[in-house]
Amino acid sequence: MSSPGTIQRLSGSGMPRSSSPTKSLSSLSLATTATNKGAADIKLRPAHRTDIPEIHEILSHYIENTVLTFRLEPPPWYELLHKLEVLQSQRLPYIVAVTTGPVTPKAANGEVGGDGERKDSATGDEMDQMDESGTEDVVGYCYVSKFRGEKLGYERTAEITIFVHPEYTRQGIGKMLMNQLLAVLKDPERYPEYVGPGHDGPLAKKNSKDGCNEKVRNLIACIAVDEDGPKKGLGLKEWYESFGFEQSGRLKGVGWKFGKSIDTIYMQLCI
């Protein structure tokens, strides 16, 4: 299990920056270089607002090319920023996996791919300011959000979202993210950097009887059954099962994307 900030060596050949302007991931530079002999250093840390452009690009790839999300168009980047701020206020973990070491400059002019929606003429400048960290690249992220958040009776149940940069899959990054997320949820007091001061959330409220922090007790993952994927879509189900998740239900034909009907499976883990 990774502790916060732990650097791990991952095997696999490095992938160069894409030169294609049509790919939403083209502005993601990868830290592996020829001098690094095909190995990348990865660390985990809490997400920052400056990570949003790269998170947006990773999400846009999966929206435009897969059925792993039922979104049909990438959201505007500020929607993702608002999501981060809400989760931080609720003291729910939002974790990113990043490369470490020197990287090439990121895209300028606020280019974020997807629908490119902007609020005003200053938005591009703000995006540039958010995208100037220069020493790390986001290659994966995960977070939990309230399950049916408007219904407070579900407050001790959360839903997981996890994505890995497509050129970094099958290198253990998803496992790193999941292990860290579960560690934080099981013992949030041990990881204040991930669940800092906040309000209005299951990790913030006090139980009036014993004074203990309420915690997320049930974790839900809703996965699309991609029949073109590994094991006809059940490979992802088995991946969740490796962390102790169990199938709680299957909804048939509830999704429609790329001209086909798609089932979803609900996986559940009692923490």
Tens digits of per-residue pLDDT, 155-192?
Answer: 899 999 999 999 999 999 999 999 999 999 999 999 99
CATH number of 7-203: 3.40.630.30
Give yes or no for residue 202 having a pLDDT over 90.
Answer: no
pLDDT of residue 213: 46
The band of 36, judged by pLDDT with boundaries at 50, 70 and 90, is: very low
**pLDDT level of residue 197 (50, 70, 90 thresholds):** low
Of 97, 86, 34, nearest to 204 (Cα)? 86
Q: What is the crossing angle of helices 123-130 and 52-65, to 10°?
A: 100
Q: Mean pLDDT in the chain?
A: 76
| Crossing angle of helices 77-89 and 52-65, rounded to 10° | 120
Which residue, 77, 62, 74, 68, is CA-closest to 107?
77
Range of 56-60, 102-106, 127-131, 232-236 with top mean pLDDT:
56-60
Phi and psi (nearest 5°) for 266?
Answer: -100, 120
pLDDT at position 170 is 92
Range with the lowest mean pLDDT among 42-51, 120-129, 134-143? 120-129
Q: Which of 1-10, 95-104, 125-134 has the lowest mean pLDDT?
A: 1-10
pLDDT tops 90 at residue 233: no
Query: Could you give the C-alpha distances from 30 to 27, 92, 106, 174, in angstroms and in order?
Result: 10, 28, 10, 17
Model confidence, pTM: 0.73
E-strand spans in the chain? 7-10, 40-46, 94-99, 138-146, 157-164, 218-224, 246-257, 260-270
C-alpha span between 222 and 249 (Å, rounded): 10
> Binning pLDDT at 50, 70 and 90, where does residue 5 land?
very low
Instruction: Give residue-wise pLDDT tens across range 70-122.
Output: 999 999 999 999 999 999 999 999 999 999 854 433 332 233 333 333 333 33
Instruction: Report the pLDDT value the prediction gives residue 148, as an integer from 0 to 100.
Output: 87
Query: What span, in angstroms and rounded, lies between the C-alpha atoms of 149 and 239?
Result: 26
Give percent of the chain with pLDDT exceeding 70.
66
Domain boundaries defined on the chain:
7-203, 217-271
* Residue 265 scores a pLDDT above 70: yes
